[in-house]
Chain A
Amino acid sequence: MSDLARTRADFPILHQQVNGKPLVYLDNGATSQKPRRVIDALVHYYERDNSNVHRGLHALSMRATDAYEGARTRIAKFIHAADPAEIIFTRGTTESINIVAHSWARAHLKAGDVILTTEMEHHSNLVPWQQAARAVGATVRYIPVLGADAEGGLDYAALDTLLTPEVKLLAFTHISNTLGTINDAARLCARARAIGAVTVIDAAQSIGHARIDVQALGCDFLAFSGHKMCGPTGIGVLYGRRALLDQLAPDETGGGMVVSVTYEGAMWKPSPERHEAGTPNIADAIALGAACDYLDEIGRDAIAAHDHYLAQIAMEKLSVVPGIRIIGPRVGQPRGGLVSFALAEVHAHDVVTFADEDGLALRGGHHCNQPLMRKLGLTSTTRASFYLYNTAAEIDVLVASLHRIQKFFVG
């Protein structure tokens, strides 16, 4: 069995028929599938260890606490954080970014300050900043995206004029969920740090696809979701440098995050507990740790290389489909494992409905990227997004399906 066949065998869901055809799952940008090991971690926890964490003295509670804190340590290692206390468990990328937008931005920003972000952000890394800016009287500025098809990526030269002393926070995506553009995160963080601005990386699309080292990147905060990296839904992480997290006021308060409570008030624990009020999502955190183990066994460099291989094949084969307009980096340029495109005279939803007939799982729409779509003169695109278990043969299924769709609608 080849390595790829072995990898595919790890994912039970892949081995099914959809509409009478073998499932071709190309919606990994939305969520990835789960390997047997992650599913087993959930089952094992609920069958053997389920208990509440931190406050119990009995055997099950100690096992649950060890597994939960073990997952925190595992994830710290996964992103090379200096300290497990820098890992806050959240529901996902959106909640992670919102914590920074609520607790950090509202406490540290004032009228006249600037939040700098980019024109290619997912709504989850855009709307929270607009709201925070509105609350304190700050403004949001955008690093432009270059090219009629956004093929030029971020305008790094514009940083010279955009990074003014008023910029207090820079938030950007590591890999664009719509364009596939891979941003130079280390460079952006270094430029922001040089003027004393805090940096927030949306790593939702990169975390399961590339080696992430928060210390090498030099970021202050990094947000990601478990479910796009072979982990369960409902669990994600906010990484923050310890010094920042320990100063940060909790966004939510309640049990588990206090040192002491009187009728007059309360004192907070340090990070991470101060940011995890209430019973946490224990099972999914543990399973996310199992996902880290799985991805590291495959090797994130190998996954990144496989993404690159599939993206290049897809770019070459898709670019000859009649009437196609691919957005993001051009053929041969580096891109993450996804391709977004519009077919002339065929709306993305019709593409997705037709492709479903061929067993393909694609995504059509604005990809929570409305301002960028508007800038590119598009209302929607179809996106094929790849992961470690996808094959070159599956791209052939996609291309054949698109030819059929184009013929049906346009003739």
Chain B
Amino acid sequence: MSADLSELYQQVILDHNRRPRNRGKLPTANRVAHGNNPSCGDECSVHLRLDGDRIAEITFDGSGCAISQASASLMTTQLKGKTAAEAQKLYDEFHHIVTTGEAPAEISDLAAFAGVHTFPARIKCATLGWHAALNALKGDPLPATTETHKD
């Protein structure tokens, strides 16, 4: 397997793909947003329970490639307990990682997605769940779609 491909499919990504965390609907959710990637059919819904400005609980469900599913799974573990502003900041860092391959030292698990940057077609897979989460935080009723939102 090439170096680029083993960079892309890191162990942490494979692990989240095989055993997704926080997968399923959230009966107590007060925010839900749906994301889709029309060019490939990937779908991801993010369910949140916001307590004030803070994410008290978060789950995701949907279907898609290993990158999109692992990214959404890992995202839920990172966003729990965060405020909307903190979530946005974390997304900005994640976006930087997947588009440049550069990960700041203090970022741990999200750095697993650095390998995505050598596969530009897969960036929207990695960001699908994040778009849905940010839309849920904004209370945006429109589905997040990777075709109209910037990656």
Contacts and interface: CB of A to CB of B under 8 A. Distances in A.
Interface stretch (A40-48, A346-354, A388-396): A346-354
Contacts of B2: 19, 357
B5 A353 contact: yes
A366 interface: yes
Interface residues of A, number: 19
Nearest to A364: B40
24 contacts: A346-B66, A347-B63, A347-B64, A347-B66, A349-B40, A349-B42, A349-B122, A350-B67, A353-B5, A353-B119, A353-B122, A354-B5, A357-B1, A357-B2, A357-B5, A364-B40, A365-B39, A365-B40, A366-B41, A379-B42, A379-B43, A379-B63, A379-B64, A409-B17
Among B9, B40, B63, chain A packs the most CB atoms within 10 A around the CB of B40
**Looking at chain B's contact residues, is the secondary structure mostly helix, strand, loop, or mixed?**
mixed
Interface in B20-66: 39-43, 63-66
A380 interface: yes
Given A19-B2, A357-B5, A373 B41 contact: yes
B14 interface: yes
Given A349-B40, A349-B67, A379-B63, 12 more contacts: A345-B18, A347-B65, A347-B66, A349-B42, A349-B64, A349-B122, A353-B122, A357-B2, A365-B39, A366-B41, A379-B43, A409-B66
B140 to A, nearest CB: 24
A281 interface: no
Interface residues of B, number: 22
B125 interface: yes
A379 B122 contact: no
B125 A349 contact: yes
Contacts of A366: 40-41
A152 B43 CA distance: 29
A370 B41 contact: yes
B40 A380 contact: yes
